[in-house]
Amino acid sequence: MTPKQILHYCSVVGLVWALCTCLFYSNLVPRVLLYGGLSLFIISWLIEFVVDQRWKTKPTKEWFFFGLLIVFYLWAFLYGPWDGQVYFHHHMEQRLPLLAFGIVGLFGLNERHSRATLINAMVVMSVGSIIFLFLKTGWQEVLSPDRVFLLSETRIHYLNAHMGYNFFLNSTLIGMWYLLFHAERKPVLLQKIIYPISALIIFAALLCSDGRSGFFMGLAIIGLMTIIEIYRYKKWIAIGCSVVVVAGMLVLSALHPRISAQSISYDLRYSYWKSAFELIEQKPLFGYGMSNAQEAFDQVNMKYVSEWERQYWTVEHTHYVDCHNQFIQTTLEYGIVGLILLLAIYLSPLFICWGKREWWLAFFFTLISLGQSLFDMFLTGRFNMIYCILLLMTLRIKDDYQSSPSHAA
């Protein structure tokens, strides 16, 4: 194996490692494990940039998406002279994956990378973490009526909160479905056995989750995938099955422990959104700027939260609270102009992949990203790295690695 091949494999290992760490958001995970993969990938890619003369990469239509990521990151500097400094450095650091993966996407990756490698790594991590979660909680507790609460406590302590964890699981479902039915290479027998079993394990974990958005999104993508595959073979049967699928989704939704009028009425997001809209009305076109928006939100939000909410965010959790909606947050920071830029980022992969087999990957990754953005910070929060890797996989990586040592355009 040549030094150049070793370098290329280091890039592959680093990206797979970085993707797998997106499953975690726990203080128990050592920082070297959380950031080691990303560091390995970035360093190896920078060396590749010189060795492979990647600056000679010819522009493609994929440049539009990755260019938008870079523009979105740099947009904050337009407000620099007028923006505050309280949150500026923190927010810019948190959004660095947009800049890093935007540049990587412009110049491409070596051909040792493959979608199959990344997706199979996600399958191993998803199923392995679920088994760990069940074993750590205890089978007696998993089978008890309080399993949702008990599993949630264990998952938060060792792995991640429900939003990040369920997004990873749903992304794994999408990847397995793509490799089974839409990839360039036909699946082997082992994939046909392991993927359905893994999908059932993941679905069982989603059923036991306390997260509503991830649960709903899991039902939605499984239902859509089922209808799509039936439609490919018998269109008229798919129409009838769609009714059954929708009915099943409604029944399962009604059984979720957090789907009740009382539970929904206690959601803190209502006060956050009300505070944000009050501010947006004053500067709808260009917004406040990144740091000024958060500082203004901190002040206004205290007017609408209840006493126990005020206690929760000012005493028990001294860090800031955002408005838990990417669309509202972006409008608050950059106004309607920023919202248009955000929507362009989300929707452009659908146009770039139109007519290609990767379109279904782009469609479902866009779907779950839009859904997640309704209830949490996504592109400007801790989800931006997994989003960038998933879209890098969709737009810049082939199904299987190529034997040629040349780099991908």
CA separation for the pair 14, 29 (Å, rounded) = 17
- If one compares 29 and 317, the residue with the highest pLDDT of the two is 29
pTM reported for the whole predicted model: 0.91
- If one compares 255 and 302, the residue with the highest pLDDT of the two is 302
Residue 139 is predicted with a pLDDT of: 87
Is residue 281 very low, low, confident or very high in pLDDT (cuts 50, 70, 90)? very high
Is residue 407 very low, low, confident or very high in pLDDT (cuts 50, 70, 90)? very low
> What's the rounded mean pLDDT across residues 224-233?
85
Is 217's pLDDT higher than 80? Answer: yes
> What's the rounded mean pLDDT across residues 116-136?
96
Place of tokens 């400094």: 85
Is 142's pLDDT higher than 90? Answer: no
- If one compares 231 and 68, the residue with the highest pLDDT of the two is 68
Give the contacts of 138 (CB within 8 A, at least 6 positions apart): none
Residue 313 is predicted with a pLDDT of: 59
Is residue 387 very low, low, confident or very high in pLDDT (cuts 50, 70, 90)? very high
Is there a contact between 202 and 175 (Cβ–Cβ < 8 Å)?
no
Place of tokens 């790594």: 121
Is there a contact between 148 and 257 (Cβ–Cβ < 8 Å)?
yes
| SS3 track for the chain | CCHHHHHHHHHHHHHHHHHHHCCCCCCCCCHHHHHHHHHHHHHHHHHHHHHCCHHHCCCCCHHHHHHHHHHHHHHHHHHCCCCCCCCHHHHHHHCHHHHHHHHHHHHCCECCCCHHHHHHHHHHHHHHHHHHHHHHHCHHHHCCCCHHHHHHHHHHHHCCCHHHHHHHHHHHHHHHHHHHHCCCCCCCHHHHHHHHHHHHHHHHHHHCCCCHHHHHHHHHHHHHHHHHHHHHHCHHHHHHHHHHHHHHHHHHHHHCCCCCHHHHHCCCHHHHHHHHHHHHCCCCCCCCCHHHHHHHHHHHHCCCCCHHHHHHHHHHCCCCCCCCCHHHHHHHHHHHHHHHHHHHHHHHHHHHCCCCCCHHHHHHHHHHHHHHHCCCCCCCCCCHHHHHHHHHHHHHCCCCCCCCCCECC
> What's the rounded mean pLDDT across residues 156-168?
92
Place of tokens 């150049």: 4
Residue 405: phi, psi to the nearest 5?
-80, -10
Place of tokens 């709808």: 284
Residue 128 is predicted with a pLDDT of: 97
